[in-house]
Structure formats: C-alpha cells, structure tokens
Structure 1
Amino acid sequence: MNAEAVIPSKRNRKVFIPHDQALYKDRNRIERCFNRLKHFRRFATRYDRRTIHFTGFIYLAAAMIWIA
C-alpha cells in the first residue's frame, strides 16, 4: 500500500517500526483540533446544508478555539 507509519509502535513490539516524529506531531495537532471542533454541536451534526455556511462556521469555531 506504500503507507507510511505515523503512530509509534509499542515498546514491547518484537519488530520495531520506525516513524516520523514530526509527522506524528502534526497529526496529533490536527486530531486535537477536530476533537475541539466536535464540541460544537452544529459542527458535529452538520446542520448547515450549504458548504459556504458550514465552512464559515468552521472558521468561526476555529477562531473561538484559538482565543480560548
């Protein structure tokens, strides 16, 4: 599949799979951002039908998270 390992393997694993720490750090930041955005019910359930309204709310929610 030519997939690259991003999550580090367990310490007790017999065959160690190397991973890119910088890529893992970026992935972690993106996951945390989405988890914070999911606290907004409007984002999690996607009430907005139009894409422009939904992306506008994403920008608003991200700004609110950034300030907090």
Structure 2
Amino acid sequence: MNESRFKNYNILLNTITFNYQSILNYFDNRSTNASEESFNAKIKAFRSQFRGVRNIEYFLFRLTNIYA
C-alpha cells in the first residue's frame, strides 16, 4: 500500500476520534454549531471593516451594539 493512503486514513481517524461526541450529538438531537459559526463569520467580517482600530473597548462596544 502507498504510505500516503495510510497518512490520510490516520488524519481522518484522528478527526473522527476527536469530534465523535459532536458527530453523534447531531444524530441524537439534530443540533449543530451552525449559529456559532455564523456569528464567528460576522465577527470576522466586522473586524475586516475596522482594521486598524486600536481602542479594543470601542471595538467590543460596537460589536455588542450590532450583534447583541
């Protein structure tokens, strides 16, 4: 066998082993972390608009006003 196939298999196995509870949770409760991922994307988009802002308190204030 090619070693690269074993390497890919081990990466997949480690990913499933690390995340198996979340994977099973989806099938048990049909719950995902999609809302958290969406919120993280919104924060990243907001950060990209305000690049160079040095006042962290103001940044957090604006962020909570928009998304809270």
* Shorter-chain TM-score tier: 0.3 to 0.5
Whose helix fraction is larger, Structure 1's or Structure 2's? 2
> How does the TM-score come out when normalised to structure 2?
0.44
> How does the TM-score come out when normalised to structure 1?
0.44
